Chain A
Amino acid sequence: MSPAARVLIVDRSRESRDVLGSLLARRGAEVLEARGAERGAQIAADQYPDLIVVDAEASAAEGDGDAAARLAAAAARNACPIVVLGTFRRSATPFGTEQFVAKPYHYGALIRRIEELLGGRP
């Protein structure tokens, strides 16, 4: 993983953010965190992450599909890939063409997936 990779984690669970955050940090990534899609959209617009990992529940739980749509739009503007955790059905999230990882996932596999996506960035 290139050292400057910047990854935004959007997840309601502090614990999940912690785990994934420390795993990515070990690999030299700079980790940004947001609890909800609303805040996530802001960070995505301001700080241009290279990749966004979003928990499906974080986008659904706020009861506001707009925030998730804004997050998706901000990601699209920067050509930033999104990995959605924990859903099988595309129709259930506002994120269209992104990567989906069903829960419960293994962290090893998730990290490999993230590294692959980051490896392909310009």
Chain B
Amino acid sequence: MASLFVIQGRDQGSRFHLEDAVHTIGRTHTHSIRLHDTEVSRNHAELVRRGDTYTVRDLGSSNGTFVNGKPVTEYELSSGDQVQVGRSLLLYTGFVDDRVEDLAGKVDIVPLAGGAEDDGSRIVASMGQQTGGSEWLMPDAKGSSNPWLAKARSNLQIMYRTALAVSHTMDIDQLLARIMDLIFDWVEADRGCIMLKDLETGKLTPKVRRHRRGVRSDEKMSISKTILDYVVDQNEGVLTSNARDDSRWDPAQSIVSLGVREAICVPMQGRYEVVGVIYIDTAVTPQKALAAKGANQFTEEHLRLMIAIAHQAALAVEDTSYYKALVQAERLAAVGQTIASLSHHIKNILQGVRGGSYLIELGLGDHDEATKGEDRDEGAAQKAVDTIRKGWGIVERNQERISALVLDMLTFSKEREPEPQPSNLNELASEVVDLMTSRAEEQSVELLWRPAQNMPTLMFDPEALHRAILNVVTNAIDACDEKEDARVIVTSQYDDVAKVARVVVEDNGAGIAPDDVEAIFSVFVSRKGGRGTGLGLPVTRKILEEHGGQVRVDSTVGRGSRFTLELPATPTPPEGEAPARMTQAFLAGDMPSSAPAS
């Protein structure tokens, strides 16, 4: 099925399946592709199906529609196209999978033995990938008399080994080393080198270097730039032998001065471009030349095979580097998103601090003015103090916001095991309610607390649970902002049968649209504008899940929300028995035989 996958933006990770004749993109819930992106217009664009393709058409949106970075009014999409609307980036995938499914329907897999459709097939021979192939390609022990067949076999074997080397590693250096090894096993080269092209500068950098045994390896290896340039520019492999006779080389160029007699240099041509070169050479001494009776050490067949090997290696290098680039890009995108939203929150807090401190500054100035000289103006002085106090309140509140942000960040990032200790959920929730009462009053929200009468002492991490409840109560109060008769009710419950303790936080505020319910638990998604960090609910959920519990939400837009924090009841260990952690600490002590001090 065709789909649009959101790879960037607030709806990141959502997939929209496309099957209807028309799909529309916009910000309101009437659209089949609804994006929570303020830069997306209410009616932004539409996708119209023609056969098995979709065409995207901009509906006069204010910020436009882009495909692969270019603005479009109408564009026929093909798989892999990236559609940008507002700040959201969507990846289009076409109807390819359907065809695969059709094909699958035409192939029947029938039970082999006993079935009515059994065609009588039996396994005659079997071979694993690891062991089978290369032995099968080894020259016959009996010694085949046909030299052509023997050569073909050996060529096939080297290709097979190349394919294996390529398939077995994601590490480029290791892969290139293996390729070089098997080239040296196969051909009598004195020196060899694999160079890869730097993606940015285009410069060739040596990655692997090999010398045949007996050839001095400490000697610096010089490779003719003339050859390299030709190979890369023309994308052709070359076999050079006695360069002076070859019309392609100008005798003045470096190939002559280096005295290279025979060399093979092939481009590593991948799917998209030349990623590097493989070079081997051999110095032909007069004795050797005599022994070979004028025949070349390297042949065109060697060249052909080298080109094939280099192609295989190039594909692997390309795959690996594209994969790495993809992972890196994803990581950078995530880091970028994190930094962007954190700086946004910090900026808002900073703005608050500036507001508060500006008021204090003004108040101090007023106060100086009022108390200066002989006639002290008590009224003005009092007013100045009020201004200072107001400013100070704002500074303090923002200080709390930043410490809450830091605590949430820590809770979210740390793989922190809860540290359970006997605690009372009623006490904890009541603490939170006390803490939030003044804030609720400030926002004209009535905050009610209804503790369960039968709440036992349970094992949990009180600090973490405090945070979890606080985040939910804060949200509930914020959700009631500017609402008449706003009310938040915090209730605790204990279910003795199911052995579950709950804290329920109910508000009669704005409510959450059904589509948004999952999104509120996503990191850095805040529906509170500048006030939310987008960390509160993810942190609450994380804490509850660490305790084996869960967070449930029921909400109706316009009527309010109910958040239920559910905690499995772990009873405290019986009296007199030390808590588990202490026991462990004691057992690990130096003197296990000594009695505990208590």
Note all chain B residues with C-beta closer than 8 A to A104: 347, 350-351, 354
Q: Does A117 contact B (CB under 8 A)?
A: no
Of B220-228, B355-363, B415-423, B582-590, the one with at least 4 CB within 8 A of chain A:
B355-363
* In the complex, chain A residues whose CB is within 8 Å of the CB of B481: 14, 35
**Inter-chain contact B387/A35, CB cutoff 8 Å:** no
Per-position 1/0 for A36-74, Cβ under 8 A of B = 000000000000000000010110110101000000000
CB-defined contacts of B41 to chain A, threshold 8 Å: 65
Q: Is B546 among interface residues, defined by CB-CB distance under 8 A?
A: no
**Chain A residues near B394 (CB-CB < 8 A):** 15, 18-19
The listed residue with most B CB atoms (<10 A of its CB), out of A26, A105, A107, is A107
The smallest beta-carbon distance between B37 and chain A, in angstroms, is 10
| A29 contacts the other chain (CB 8 A) | no
Report if A113 contacts B (CB, 8 A): no
Q: Which residue of B lies closest to A66 (CB)?
A: B42
CB of A112 within 8 A of chain B? no
B-contact 0/1 string along A16-39, CB 8 Å cutoff: 101110110010000000010000
Residues of A within 8 A of B570 (CB): none
Contact call B390/A18, Cβ cutoff below 8 A: yes
| Minimal beta-carbon separation of B138 from chain A (angstroms) | 68
Pairwise interchain contact B390-A26, C-beta atoms closer than 8 A: no
Q: What is the size category of the interface that chain B forms with chain A?
A: 20 to 34
Known A-B contacts A18-B390, A18-B394, A35-B482; the reply to A91 vs B351 at CB < 8 A is no
Q: Which of A12, A19, A106 contacts B531 (CB 8 A)?
A: A12
| CB-CB nearest in chain B for A58 | B529
B495-537 vs A, Cβ < 8 Å mask (1 yes, 0 no): 0000000000000000000000000000000000111000000
Q: Which residue of A lies closest to B398 (CB)?
A: A15
B254 at the interface (CB under 8 A from A): no
Which of A15, A63, A65, A91 has a CB less than 8 Å from the CB of B397?
Answer: A15
- When the two chains form their complex, are residues B359 and A19 in contact, meaning their CB atoms are under 8 A apart? yes
Using Cβ atoms and an 8 Å threshold, which residues of chain A touch B348?
A: 13, 103
Contact of A106 with B354 in the complex, beta carbons under 8 Å: yes
Chain B, range 331-359, C-beta contacts under 8 Å to A = 347-348, 350-352, 354-356, 358-359
CA distance A104 to B398 in the complex (A): 14
Q: Complex Cα distance A57/B36, Å?
A: 14
A4 contacts the other chain (CB 8 A): no
Whole-angstrom distance between the Cβ of A64 and the nearest chain B Cβ:
8
Report if A122 contacts B (CB, 8 A). Answer: no
Q: Does B531 lie within 8 Å of A13, measured CB to CB?
A: yes
Which single member of A16, A60, A65, A92 contacts B352 (CB below 8 Å)? A16
Given A22-B359, A65-B42, A91-B63, the answer on whether A15 and B352 have CB atoms closer than 8 Å is yes
Interface of B is mostly: helix
- In the complex, residue of chain B having the shortest beta-carbon distance to the beta carbon of A20: B355
Indicate if the CB atoms of B355 and A16 lie closer than 8 Å. Answer: yes
Task: State whether A92 and B390 are in contact (beta carbons under 8 Å apart), knowing that A23-B362, A104-B350 are contacts in the complex.
Answer: no
- A37 and B428 CA atoms in complex are apart in Å by 39
Interface check A120, CB cutoff 8 A: no
Contact B351 A63 (CB under 8 A): no
Asked whether A108 is an interface residue with its Cβ less than 8 Å from the other chain, the reply is yes
Q: Which residue of A lies closest to B527 (CB)?
A: A61
- B27 adjacent to chain A (CB < 8 Å): yes
Q: Does B461 lie at the interface of the complex (its beta carbon under 8 Å from any beta carbon of A)?
A: no
Contact status B355-A57, CB under 8 Å:
no
List chain A residues, Cβ under 8 A from B39: 91-92
Tell me the bound Cα distance from A20 to B394 in angstroms.
12
B351 touching A61, Cβ below 8 Å? no
How far does the alpha carbon of A57 sit from the alpha carbon of B532 in the complex, in Å?
A: 12
Determine if A19 and B482 form an interchain contact, defined as CB atoms under 8 angstroms apart. no
- Alpha-carbon distance A60/B442, docked complex (angstroms): 25
**Which residues of chain A have C-beta atoms less than 8 A from B350's C-beta?**
104
Complex alpha-carbon distance, A16 and B355, angstroms: 7
Q: Does B443 contact A (CB under 8 A)?
A: yes
Q: How far is the CA of A96 from the CA of B225 in the complex (A)?
A: 59
Give Cα distance in the complex from A91 to B41, angstroms.
12
Contact mask for chain A residues 79-122; partner B; CB cutoff 8 A; 1 contact, 0 none: 00000000000011000000000011111100000000000000
Contact B443 A14 (CB under 8 A): yes
| B443 and A60 contact, CB distance less than 8 A | no
Q: Are B530 and A12 in contact (CB under 8 A)?
A: yes
Q: Is B242 positioned at the interface, with any CB of A under 8 Å from its CB?
A: no
Contact B355 A61 (CB under 8 A): no
Q: In the bound complex, how far is the Cα of B442 from the Cα of A63, in angstroms?
A: 26
Chain B residues lying within 8 Å of A106, measured Cβ to Cβ, are: 354, 358
* Residues in B neighbouring A18, C-beta threshold 8 A: 355, 390, 394
Contact with A along B472-501 (1 / 0, CB 8 A): 000000000110000000000000000000
Among residues 519 to 571 in chain B, which have CB atoms less than 8 Å away from a CB atom of chain A?
529-531
Task: Point out residues on B near A: beta carbons under 8 Å.
Answer: 27, 36, 38-39, 41-42, 62-63, 347-348, 350-352, 354-356, 358-359, 362, 387, 390, 394, 397, 442-443, 481-482, 529-531
Q: Please name 4 further chain A to chain B contacts, defined as beta carbons within 8 Å, in addition to the given A13-B529, A91-B63, sorted by A numbering.
A: A12-B529, A22-B387, A35-B482, A61-B529
Q: List 19 A-B contacts (CB under 8 A).
A: A13-B531, A14-B481, A15-B355, A15-B394, A16-B355, A18-B390, A19-B356, A20-B355, A22-B359, A23-B362, A35-B482, A63-B27, A63-B38, A65-B38, A91-B39, A104-B347, A104-B354, A106-B358, A107-B354
